[in-house]
């Protein structure tokens, strides 16, 4: 086995700065946009499900189009520089939605502003930055890089949750969004300034002499799917897993705050207790993936994570939530394996475009189906509540239990993936 290709300090600095700032922005959106809507506009779960679904659709379409454009231009940096700047500013602007006195108008504004933020973030992070990471890595080091890439959202959650709950409890949502947006702005600007294009990157396309739309449709042709069947099996695995998680993710903080009566500050502390364990395991898992043990890691992570999700639903004390929270976080280590496999299996002439394809399976489908399932469960089995005369429901443990069961169905496409005699370390 050849030694992994080493990345220089400059590349690692860019990966960490852009990856961390981007994940802070996504964490704000995924966690605190939802609590903001619940606390300031309406406790009805349906607007949250709608906001998440619209965001997922915008993210996917944006990444497909902008990723394809970056492939055809042979450039990533312009998309990253402009995207990160405007992304940060849009995060700061989000709480303006609550200024609307009419609830329906406020709901429209949060969905609209979230879509704008998502468009900018997907351009900068999902399409351009992630394609750039694939450009500068190879099959010998992508497991390790994916391990670092998983650490970054966890650090973002620790920073975001640990500080965010306190900021919101003490200063309110407006100060919180301004502070986090400014942090994203500074880190993103420095990272983008240091970034250099891969010397091997050149204008490329899957369909020469064809327009943008024709090239996009070519990705989903039966011939292309057959040629990349291993890739699409991994993407299907990711879809099932992420759908199971999205049943819970939009509503978990609401559950902790309103069902268990845990303050936002304490919820942030809980997250900072859970997160370091995943951080410590991320790099070893990435190296195991590089050495060909990804399949074992994936199956083990899914089983432990699903068990933890089930036990989390039965926990009421802080120490119980911490222990079971660590267990359920193990399932996210599987993303290291799937992420490395996907980068290895991507066609070299369509890396930007396939970041968009990845988002269809990783973001759009899960974030449409998952929150809708969660919203239905909450609406039919949740605890009735109201805010300023608006009726809604508080999430109950059932959402975690359904999530745990569904996540195990991810093993089905992996079974067929393995049966196709694909090497455990693809690439």
Residue pLDDT tens, the chain, 427 long: 456 677 778 888 888 889 888 888 877 777 777 788 888 888 887 888 888 888 888 988 888 888 888 888 888 888 998 888 998 898 888 888 778 778 888 888 888 988 998 999 889 888 888 888 888 887 777 778 877 887 887 777 776 666 777 778 788 888 888 888 888 889 888 888 888 888 777 666 555 555 566 666 677 778 877 877 888 888 999 999 999 999 998 888 889 988 999 887 788 778 777 777 777 887 788 788 777 777 888 899 899 999 999 999 999 888 899 999 999 988 888 888 888 888 788 776 666 777 778 878 888 899 889 989 998 999 899 888 876 667 788 899 999 999 999 999 998 888 777 665 444 444 4
C-alpha distances out from residue 273 to 12, 33, 268, 307, Å: 26, 23, 9, 19
C-alpha span between 186 and 114 (Å, rounded): 21
**pLDDT value for 28:** 76
**pLDDT value for 421:** 44
Whole-prediction pTM value? 0.68
CATH number assigned to the domain covering 10-196+215-419: 1.20.1250.20
Q: Which residue matches tokens 């949740």?
A: 382
**pLDDT value for 172:** 82
**pLDDT value for 423:** 46
Torsion of CA 352, 354, 360, 364, to 10 degrees: -20
Q: Can you give the residue ranges of every domain in the chain?
A: 10-196+215-419
C-alpha distances out from residue 279 to 90, 164, 276, 284, 291, Å: 29, 20, 5, 10, 19
């Amino acid at each position: 086995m050849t030694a992994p290709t080493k990345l220089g300090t400059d590349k690692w600095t860019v990966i960490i700065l852009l990856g961390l700032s981007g994940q802070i922005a996504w964490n704000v959106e995924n966690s605190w946009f939802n609590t903001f809507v619940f606390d300031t506009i309406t406790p009805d779960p349906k607007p949250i499900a709608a906001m998440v679904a619209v965001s997922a659709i915008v993210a996917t379409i944006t990444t497909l189009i902008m990723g394809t454009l970056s492939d055809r231009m042979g450039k990533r940096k312009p998309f990253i520089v402009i995207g990160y700047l405007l992304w940060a500013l849009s995060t700061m602007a989000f709480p303006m939605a609550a200024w609307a006195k009419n609830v329906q108008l406020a709901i429209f504004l949060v969905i609209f502003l979230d879509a704008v933020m998502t468009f900018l973030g997907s351009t900068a992070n999902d399409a351009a930055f992630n394609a750039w990471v694939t450009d500068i890595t190879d099959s010998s080091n992508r497991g390790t890089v994916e391990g670092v890439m998983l650490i970054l959202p966890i650090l973002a959650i620790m920073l975001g949750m640990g500080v965010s709950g306190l900021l919101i409890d003490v200063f309110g949502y407006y100060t919180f969004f301004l502070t986090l947006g400014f942090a994203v702005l500074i880190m993103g600007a420095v990272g983008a300034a240091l970034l250099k294009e891969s010397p091997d990157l050149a204008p490329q396309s899957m369909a020469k002499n064809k327009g943008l739309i024709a090239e996009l449709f070519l990705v989903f042709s039966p011939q292309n799917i057959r040629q990349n069947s291993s890739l699409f099996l991994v993407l299907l695995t990711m879809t099932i897993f992420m759908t199971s998680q999205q049943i819970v993710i939009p509503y978990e903080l609401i559950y902790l705050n309103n069902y268990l009566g845990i303050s936002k500050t304490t919820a942030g502390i809980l997250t900072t207790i859970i997160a370091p364990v995943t951080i410590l395991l991320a790099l070893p898992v990435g190296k195991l993936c590089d050495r060909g043990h990804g399949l074992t890691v994936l199956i083990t992570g899914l089983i432990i994570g699903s068990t933890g999700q089930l036990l989390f639903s039965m926990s009421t004390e802080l120490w119980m939530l911490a222990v079971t929270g660590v267990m359920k976080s193990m399932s996210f280590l599987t993303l290291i394996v799937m992420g490395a496999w996907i980068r290895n299996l991507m066609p070299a002439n369509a890396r930007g475009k396939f970041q968009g394809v990845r988002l269809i399976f990783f973001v759009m489908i899960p974030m449409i189906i998952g929150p809708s399932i969660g919203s239905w469960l909450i609406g039919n089995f949740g605890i009735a509540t109201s805010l300023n005369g608006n009726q809604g429901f508080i999430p109950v443990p059932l959402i975690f239990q359904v999530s745990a069961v569904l996540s195990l169905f991810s093993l089905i496409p992996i079974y067929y993936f393995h049966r196709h005699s694909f090497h455990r370390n693809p690439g």
